[in-house]
Amino acid sequence: MKKNVLIGLGGVVLVLAVFIWQVVANLDGIVAGVIEEVGTEVLGTKVSVTGVSINLKEAKAGIAGLTIANPDGYSSANLFEMEGIEVDLNLESVGKDVLVIDAIRIQNPKIVFEGDESGGSNMQALLNNIEAGSSDGSSEGSGESSGETTKLIIDSLVFTGGQIKASSELKPGEVIDVKLPGIKMSRIGRTEGGVTPDVIATEVVGEMANAIIKAVAKAMVTEAIEEKTKGFLDKLKGD
């Protein structure tokens, strides 16, 4: 009887070992799936990644080919394209209820800004999607499905080298290039002792969207002033 019990326990341990090995072996794919699932749910538009690489020994992670599709009602172009994202992990927090990320660096993101005749934009539509998801509770508990309770803290998040292709229905056929000023965020979720992924996404996308809208608005106003000034000077020269 004792021997049978030991054999039975040995079988359970073997199954658990195989399961754990499978999880570790497929960790990159699991994380990629979570990013796509949570991102799509929170933003209300398709989020995709081409790959995730995690090196626990070096406390590093990389996310390749992250894209965010345009919200409904806008072109088929991606709103965001981020070729590479570098992540520094805090290994002491791995496996605990609060996962601490020391730093996230996003370099050279590409953004498509599309304005409409009513003064709205694809960026504003994205913010509306986030707000709608928060108000109806559809994103509540994101990151906590299937019994998961892990929350996040991001101590540093930096966007640099952003390039925006901006257009507006108010100026059909005209596309201007706008440089996105660097964006730095710190201690995200630190005060709360950790927050769920949907809260992180809301805060980060909100910060980016506001910076993009301001940069585009400033560029369009500057261009309009330059056009009017040039026309005025041409008239003076003509006189």
Answer whether 195's CB lies under 8 Å from 189's CB. yes
DSSP assignment of 180-207, as one string?
EPPEEEEEETTTTT-B-HHHHHHHHHHH
Separation between Cα atoms, residue 211 and residue 180, nearest integer Å: 8
- Predicted confidence (pLDDT) per residue in 130-152, tens digit: 878 766 655 554 444 444 557 88
17 confidence band (pLDDT: 50, 70, 90): very low
pLDDT classification of 10: cutoffs 50, 70, 90: very low
Flag whether pLDDT at 16 surpasses 80: no
- pLDDT at residue 146 in the model: 41
Predicted pLDDT of residue 154: 92
pLDDT at residue 180, as a whole number = 92
Sign of CA dihedral 8, 12, 18, 21: negative
Closest CA to 177 of 124, 230, 111: 111
Query: Percent of the chain having pLDDT more than 70?
Result: 72
φ, ψ (nearest 5 deg) of residue 91: -60, -30
Half-sphere exposure of 130 (CA within 13 A, CB side): 20
Residue 237 clears pLDDT 80, i.e. is over it: no
User: Nearest-CA neighbor of 156 among 86, 52, 64, 66?
Assistant: 86
- How far from chain centre, in Å, is Cα 201? 6
The model's pLDDT over 58-111, given as tens digits with 9 standing for 90+, comes to 888 888 889 999 999 899 999 999 888 899 988 888 778 888 899 999 989 999
Which among 179, 161, 152 has a CA at the least distance from the CA of 87? 152
User: Is the CB of residue 166 less than 8 Å from the CB of residue 176?
Assistant: yes
Mean pLDDT, rounded, for 2-10: 47
- Per-residue pLDDT of 167-202, as tens digits, reads 888 778 888 999 999 999 999 999 999 998 778 888
pTM, full prediction: 0.75
User: How far is 101 from 187, CA to CA, in rounded Å?
Assistant: 10
- pLDDT score for 121: 87
Q: Are 35 and 66 in contact (CB under 8 A)?
A: yes
Predicted confidence (pLDDT) at residue 57 exceeds the cutoff of 50: yes
